[in-house]
């Protein structure tokens, strides 16, 4: 047993206390005041009979980046009064997944659910063989689309917008924001086989745990760590291995690992995530579902987390190879299964600020502010270095104090304006009592490293 693990068990004494005794760790006492709402205003009408043409979209990236692109594609079609052709998905990205829209999402449900918002067809009419392709700038406004895209659409009757990711401004009118919510939370339903597999895994976790479990999006893959520029205690071998991976990004600047850690740009290690959860009050009887790709360092890296939470499961350990056969060759379908389990978990813990973490955080806010925990990485990064200088009770009390404002409570203040992470315009409250009491929790923005956004910054955009 390593010195670190010996310290953990010596201090914790393999604490068997029921985690339900800890105050509000499974849910927020304020959550009952809020609920998702996305109905349009009385001024909102269905799509006009006449259309300005056909809009084709090529959604880029992995599953959750594509989800953002699909959502925004519907809104852009509404802005342009265009007929949307069901979006095509990226087959050439890092994930190398050749799945089409209908392989992941219920295409008929998608079209029917949005019938009062936009016209959607499965294919472009054969008479329009060669639609013109355009690339719009990232975060373009509705005015830009009406000024720069609409004239071409009307003239050519069909326009394809390529590499469609983050191509629509975040700040839109209330009705357009609520349309985003209708797409993301109502229209984008996974196919029956994916939905069935995800719900089966949720049921297995709940049956074994007696009713509730934590889902953790660990995001501790080699590419994530290499891009972060951080150091995780693996010695010269780690430095060499991550430096080698880092060469794939030619323009990536060299960062100071110590400074990145102090600034909250480094994801926590699996052991640090485990310590955080135990300090918050979750006992070693808690059931943990871990959504992740290949972990850097493999089982040796996961060992401390498994020791802290022996009831440790993944989709691969919950389902047989035969059950997973139809999904395992497709990264997006596997990610969709993880999405379902994480979304249906009682507590969701994210160790990064990438697309999946952001969208899930927003989805869970919309679904009644289910508990979502984000490490306060800026404070915890340096604090974990002090853990052996204090007893467990002191360490745990201090960590709980540092985590205030990062526990997914409804009234947490955040400077983020991202509709996917914080769909505030689509969340209604049953009473104004909470606001009148002024029960805001925390005032710091999560600064966890977001590899998705940085990758976009380093990718050519013609």
Q: What percent of the chain has pLDDT over 90?
A: 65
Q: Are residues 270 and 328 in the same domain?
A: yes
In whole angstroms, what is the distance from residue 417 CA to residue 423 CA? 9
pLDDT band at residue 68 under the 50/70/90 scheme: very high
Buried (b) or exposed (e) across 164-175, using 16+ Cβ within 10 A?
bbbbbbeebeeb
Average pLDDT over residues 181-188: 98
Q: Between these two residues, 2 and 147, which has the higher pLDDT value?
A: 147
At 98-150, the pLDDT tens digits run 999 999 999 999 999 999 999 999 999 999 988 999 999 999 999 999 999 99
Q: Please give the tally of structural domains in the chain.
A: 2
Does any domain span residue 334? Answer: yes
What is the reported pLDDT for 214?
98
Average pLDDT over residues 79-99: 90
Lowest mean pLDDT across 17-21, 100-104, 136-140, 190-194? 17-21
What is the reported pLDDT for 4?
52
Does any domain span residue 260? Answer: yes
Q: Are residues 178 and 205 in the same domain?
A: no
C-alpha to C-alpha distances, 246 to 110, 121, 222, 239, nearest whole angstrom? 39, 42, 10, 10
Q: Are residues 297 and 166 in the same domain?
A: no
What is the reported pLDDT for 222?
87
Q: Are residues 239 and 285 in the same domain?
A: yes
Does any domain span residue 16? Answer: no
In whole angstroms, what is the distance from residue 434 CA to residue 277 CA? 27
Average pLDDT over residues 240-248: 86
Q: Are residues 161 and 254 in the same domain?
A: no
Does any domain span residue 312? Answer: yes
Q: 374: which DSSP letter?
A: -
What is the reported pLDDT for 35?
92
Does any domain span residue 440? Answer: no
What is the reported pLDDT for 17?
45
- Given a cut of 80, whether residue 155 has pLDDT beyond it is yes
For the record, the structure tokens of 398 come out as 């201090």
Please name the residue ranges forming H helices in 326-373: 331-344, 355-366
What is the reported pLDDT for 410?
86
- Least Cα distance to 452 among 219, 141, 162, 168 occurs for 219
Q: Are residues 173 and 230 in the same domain?
A: no
Does any domain span residue 448? Answer: no
pLDDT band at residue 7 under the 50/70/90 scheme: low
Paired with 216 in beta bridges are: 290, 349
Paired with 55 in beta bridges are: 84, 159
What is the reported pLDDT for 250?
77
C-alpha to C-alpha distances, 100 to 59, 122, 189, 227, 245, nearest whole angstrom? 11, 12, 14, 29, 30
- Given a cut of 80, whether residue 285 has pLDDT beyond it is yes
The strand pair at 347-350 and 371-373 is best described as: parallel
C-alpha to C-alpha distances, 286 to 40, 205, 361, 363, nearest whole angstrom? 41, 11, 21, 24
Q: Are residues 110 and 223 in the same domain?
A: no
Question: Are 62 and 455 in contact, with CB atoms under 8 Å apart?
Answer: no
What is the reported pLDDT for 95?
66
Q: Are residues 302 and 415 in the same domain?
A: yes
Average pLDDT over residues 85-108: 91
For the record, the structure tokens of 33 come out as 């005041």
Q: Are residues 209 and 335 in the same domain?
A: yes
- The domain of 146 spans 54-189
What is the reported pLDDT for 174?
96
Q: Are residues 215 and 177 in the same domain?
A: no
For the record, the structure tokens of 180 come out as 């985003």
Task: Supply the mean pLDDT for the chain.
Answer: 87
What is the reported pLDDT for 455?
43
Average pLDDT over residues 4-32: 60
- The 3-state DSSP class for residue 326 equals coil
Does any domain span residue 162? Answer: yes
What is the reported pLDDT for 279?
96
Residue where a domain stops, chosen among 128, 154, 189: 189
In whole angstroms, what is the distance from residue 267 CA to residue 351 CA? 6
Question: Are 215 and 196 in contact, with CB atoms under 8 Å apart?
Answer: no
**Terminal CA-CA length for the chain:** 53
What is the reported pLDDT for 10?
45
Residue where a domain stops, chosen among 122, 155, 189: 189
Lowest mean pLDDT across 29-33, 205-209, 234-238, 452-456? 452-456
- Given a cut of 60, whether residue 16 has pLDDT beyond it is no
H/E stretch holding 457: helix 451-457
- Given a cut of 90, whether residue 251 has pLDDT beyond it is no
- Helices 392-402 and 3-12 pack at an angle, to 10 degrees, of 90
Average pLDDT over residues 21-26: 68
Q: Are residues 400 and 317 in the same domain?
A: yes
What is the reported pLDDT for 2?
53
For the record, the structure tokens of 112 come out as 């029917």
pLDDT band at residue 11 under the 50/70/90 scheme: low
Average pLDDT over residues 202-208: 98
In whole angstroms, what is the distance from residue 369 CA to residue 36 CA? 9
Q: Between these two residues, 439 and 36, which has the higher pLDDT value?
A: 36
Does any domain span residue 39? Answer: no
What is the reported pLDDT for 382?
84
What is the reported pLDDT for 437?
41
Q: Between these two residues, 386 and 139, which has the higher pLDDT value?
A: 139
Question: Are 319 and 243 in contact, with CB atoms under 8 Å apart?
Answer: no
Paired with 56 in beta bridges are: 160
Q: Are residues 294 and 365 in the same domain?
A: yes
pLDDT band at residue 442 under the 50/70/90 scheme: very low
Q: Could you identify the residue written with the tokens 């004239």?
A: 151
- Given a cut of 50, whether residue 458 has pLDDT beyond it is no
At 31-58, the pLDDT tens digits run 888 999 999 999 999 998 889 999 999 9
């Amino acid at each position: 047993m390593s010195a670190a693990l010996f310290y953990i068990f010596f201090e914790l004494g393999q604490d068997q206390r029921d985690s339900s005794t800890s105050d509000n760790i499974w849910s927020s006492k304020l959550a009952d005041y809020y609920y998702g709402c996305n109905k349009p205003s009385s001024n909102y009408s269905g799509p006009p009979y006449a259309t300005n043409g056909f809009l084709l979209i090529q959604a880029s990236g992995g599953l959750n980046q594509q989800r953002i692109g699909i959502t925004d594609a519907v809104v852009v079609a509404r802005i342009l009064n265009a007929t949307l052709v069901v979006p095509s998905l990226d087959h050439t990205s890092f994930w190398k997944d050749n799945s089409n829209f209908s392989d992941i999402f219920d295409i008929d449900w998608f079209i029917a659910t949005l019938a009062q918002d936009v016209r959607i067809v499965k294919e472009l009419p054969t008479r329009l063989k060669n639609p013109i392709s355009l690339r719009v700038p990232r975060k373009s406004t509705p005015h830009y689309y009406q000024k720069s895209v609409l004239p071409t659409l009307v003239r050519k009757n069909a326009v394809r917008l390529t590499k469609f990711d983050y191509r629509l401004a975040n700040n839109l009118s209330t009705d357009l924001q609520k349309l985003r919510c209708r797409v993301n939370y109502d229209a984008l339903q996974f196919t029956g086989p994916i939905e069935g597999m995800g719900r089966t895994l949720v049921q297995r976790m709940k049956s074994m745990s007696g009713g509730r479990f934590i889902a953790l999006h660990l995001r501790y893959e080699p590419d994530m760590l290499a891009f972060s520029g951080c150091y995780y205690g693996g010695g010269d071998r780690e430095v060499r291995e991550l430096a080698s991976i880092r060469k794939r990004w030619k323009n990536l600047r060299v960062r100071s690992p110590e400074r990145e850690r102090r600034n909250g740009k480094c994801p926590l290690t699996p052991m640090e995530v485990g310590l955080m959860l135990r300090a918050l009050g979750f006992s070693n009887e808690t059931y943990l579902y871990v959504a992740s790709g290949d972990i850097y360092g493999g089982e040796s890296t996961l060992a401390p987390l498994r020791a802290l939470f022996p009831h440790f499961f993944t989709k691969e350990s919950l389902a047989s190879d035969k059950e997973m056969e139809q999904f395992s060759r497709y990264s997006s379908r596997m990610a969709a299964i993880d999405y379902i389990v994480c979304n249906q978990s009682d507590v969701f813990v994210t160790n990064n600020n990438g697309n999946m973490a952001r969208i899930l955080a927003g989805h869970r806010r919309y679904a009644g502010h289910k508990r979502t925990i984000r490490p306060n990485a800026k404070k915890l990064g340096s604090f974990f270095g002090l853990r052996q200088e204090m007893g467990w009770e002191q360490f745990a009390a201090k960590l709980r104090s540092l985590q205030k404002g990062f526990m997914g409570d409804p009234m947490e203040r955040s400077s983020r304006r991202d509709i996917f992470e914080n769909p505030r315009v689509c969340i209604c409250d049953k009473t104004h009592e909470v606001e009148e009491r002024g029960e805001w929790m925390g005032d710091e923005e999560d600064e966890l490293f977001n590899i998705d956004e940085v990758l976009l910054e380093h990718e050519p955009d013609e």
